[in-house]
Amino acid sequence: RGGEEVNKHLTAVEHDWVMWAYRSETGPRRERQVRITADDTVAQAVAAYREMAQRTTEIALACDDLHRPGVRSLREHGPAPSLRWVLVHLVEETARHAGHADILREQIDGAVGR
């Protein structure tokens, strides 16, 4: 079930930074609502992640100034970040979780990746 949880978390974080903070979409932040249910599947989680990634790609390609600040920040008392900052942060967030998953996999199967 770990795959679903990581994918749901990354999808929610991307939504919150891109849609909620940068674009000022209304509604609750999704990261605070990530819950795994018995009906969740890896395929559903991956599909949602890919859909969010596509939305982010479209927003980035349409942006004429990656350095222009967004509308609000997810960080308390922090300035609204630029889309450039958000995109770099999402790469960092994804890489961190991929690294955690790789460490767990190495502990399970003993194979060290290169």
* Domain hosting residue 13, numbered range: 2-109
The predicted pLDDT at position 1 comes to 58
C-alpha dist (Å) from residue 67 to 26, 49, 112:
23, 25, 39
What's the pLDDT tens digit per position in 7-23? 888 999 999 999 999 99
The predicted pLDDT at position 93 comes to 92
Return the percentage of the chain with pLDDT > 70, whole number. Answer: 94
Looking at the predicted structure, is the pLDDT value of residue 113 above 70?
A: no
Cβ within 8 Å of residue 88, ≥6 positions away = none
The count of structural domains within the chain is 1
Burial category of 56 from C-beta neighbours within 10 Å (exposed 0-12, middle 13-18, buried 19 and up): buried
The predicted pLDDT at position 102 comes to 78
Please indicate, yes or no, if residue 51 is contained in any of the structural domains.
Answer: yes
Phi-psi region of 3 (alpha: psi -120 to 50; beta: other; left: phi over 0): alpha
Looking at the predicted structure, is the pLDDT value of residue 29 above 70?
A: yes
Please indicate, yes or no, if residue 60 is contained in any of the structural domains.
Answer: yes
Count of residues in the chain: 114
SS (H, E, C) 77-107: CCCCCEHHHHHHHHHHHHHHHHHHHHHHHHH
Looking at the predicted structure, is the pLDDT value of residue 30 above 80?
A: no
What's the pLDDT tens digit per position in 58-97? 999 999 999 999 999 888 888 999 999 999 999 999 999 8
Query: Kind and range of the H or E element at 43?
Result: helix 42-62
Looking at the predicted structure, is the pLDDT value of residue 2 above 70?
A: no
Please indicate, yes or no, if residue 114 is contained in any of the structural domains.
Answer: no
Please indicate, yes or no, if residue 29 is contained in any of the structural domains.
Answer: yes
